[in-house]
Amino acid sequence: MEYIGNFTQTEQILKRHGFTIRKKYGQNFLIDPGTLTKIVDTAEVGPSDIVLEIGPGLGTLTQYLASRAKKVIAVEIDSHLIPILAETLADYPNAEVVHADILKFDIDACFDRVREENEKIRRPEEDGEGSGQVFGDEAEEEVRYKVVANLPYYITTPVLMKLLEGKTHFDTMLFMVQKEVAERMCAAPGSKDYGALTLAAAYYTEIRIAGTVSPSCFIPRPGVDSALLLMHVWKERPVGVIDEKQMFALIRGSFNQRRKTLVNGIAGFEGLPFTKDEVKKALEEMELPANVRGEALTLAQFAALSDQLTHLSRQRPE
């Protein structure tokens, strides 16, 4: 079957199935072949990749992904799209559609299963002679896991946090998001866009904006510009920290009320067990002023602050 990624074919499919576009699911379907090609090129999708696609919609991007990848798992919430996907992906046996809400879907269990299936294919005589051998072209192949999605914009942040904090190691993630969100995620310390999301992205990934996309590339046209956000997940975190959870609670506390100083934002936030004096002392050790705001601190400074506070709390009298 021919690719469906242009205006006329997309209109025909929508008409033929009597499909009503649902705003509540953030449905803006891509109709620009140039953008579709740019997405698969930028994510460097290749034959050893297993790709998670969030929200395949009509299957447009899925077709491009499945033509290049080893396997695509496409998770779609809208039941009305499932029969359409069966039709548009009929010629792509390596595309598996799952009808689920990505926020409730157990990504780690799914990818454990995929990894096991893949291992079985690579080691067909597991129980007999030759067990553990890798055969043919597969011998050279190391499977990579990627996420590629034209994200429904209403769930961008929870989806990103779920993927970043999850167990499955995806080595590349490429998302179409609102341009404004992409800028926030790549913001520099001290700027108005800099925040908890920026720091989470920097802790887990090397991140950059790989291009902007105009509203005319979608049906229906979104009210804002979009951007491609490319994230390569670090194999080793760029900063070390004793208590990762505590560092993120400190980050959230510091940005919870941006106009508060860091000391006032942190004290008592989400049950953090530090007094204002302890936070002031930790800042002093780091040669930072007591009235500093969270937006002035880099990721490495948040990690150092968290470690200082851990040390101080260990020195408390019993």
Contact with ligand SAM (CB under 6 A) among 43, 69, 72, 76: 76
Beta-strand relationship, 172-178 and 226-233: antiparallel
Residue 312 structure tokens: 């101080």
Q: At what angle do helices 299-314 and 196-204 cross, to 10 degrees?
A: 90
The Cβ of residue 147 has, within 10 Å, a number of other Cβ atoms equal to 24
> Are the beta carbons of 54 and 174 closer than 8 angstroms?
no
Count H helices and E strands in the chain, helices first.
12, 9
Nearer to ligand SAM, 228 or 251 (CB): 228
Question: 156 vs 172, which CB is nearer to ligand SAM?
Answer: 156
Conformation bin of residue 78: beta by default, left when phi > 0, alpha when psi is -120 to 50: beta
Q: Which residue type is seen at 109?
A: A
Residue 49 vs 76, nearer CB to ligand SAM = 76
- Least Cβ distance, residue 167 to ligand SAM (angstroms): 19
Least Å distance, CB 181 to ligand SAM, is 13
Binding part of the chain for ligand SAM, among 21-29, 107-115, 181-189, 301-309 by CB under 6 A, reads: 21-29
Stretch that binds ligand SAM, among 27-35, 196-204, 270-278, 282-290 (CB under 6 A): 27-35
In this complex, which beta carbon is closest to ligand SAM, that of residue 155 or of residue 199?
155
Among 4, 43, 75, 303, which residue interacts with ligand SAM (rule: CB under 6 A)?
75
Is there binding between residue 175 and ligand SAM (CB under 6 A)? no
The pair of three-digit structure tokens given for residue 300, joined into one six-digit string: 């490495």
Return the range that interacts with ligand SAM (CB under 6 A); candidates 20-28, 234-242, 248-256, 307-315: 20-28
- Measured between alpha carbons, how far is 127 from 100 in angstroms, rounded to an integer? 35
| Rounded-to-integer distance, Cα 118 and Cα 308, Å | 44
28 touches ligand SAM by CB under 6 A: yes
Stretch that binds ligand SAM, among 69-77, 83-91, 226-234, 242-250 (CB under 6 A): 69-77
Q: Which of residues 147-166 bind ligand SAM (CB under 6 A)?
A: 150, 152, 155
Q: What is the CA radius of gyration of the chain?
A: 23
Under a CB-based contact definition with an 8 Å cutoff, are residues 66 and 1 in contact? no
Q: How far apart are CA 34 and CA 11, in angstroms?
A: 18
Confirm or reject binding of residue 103 to ligand SAM (CB under 6 A).
yes
Q: Which is nearer to ligand SAM, 60 or 254 (CB)?
A: 60
Structure tokens given for 48 = 């050893």
Residues in region 43-62 near ligand SAM by CB under 6 A: 54-57, 60-61
> Rounded to the nearest whole angstrom, what is the least distance from the CB of residue 23 to ligand SAM in the complex?
10
Residue 233 · residue 170 · CB < 8 Å = yes
**Does residue 288 contact residue 300 with C-beta atoms inside 8 Å?**
no
**27 contacts ligand SAM (rule: CB under 6 A):** yes
Residue 98, C-beta contacts closer than 8 angstroms, at least 6 positions apart: 73, 74, 75, 76, 105, 110
The window from 72-80, 123-131, 195-203, 223-231 that contacts ligand SAM (CB under 6 A) reads: 72-80
Q: Which stretch binds ligand SAM (CB under 6 A): 76-84, 89-97, 268-276, 295-303?
A: 76-84
**Residue 25 binds ligand SAM, judged by CB under 6 A:** yes
- Give the residues lining the site for ligand SAM (CB under 6 A): 25-30, 54-57, 60-61, 75-78, 81, 101-103, 150, 152, 155
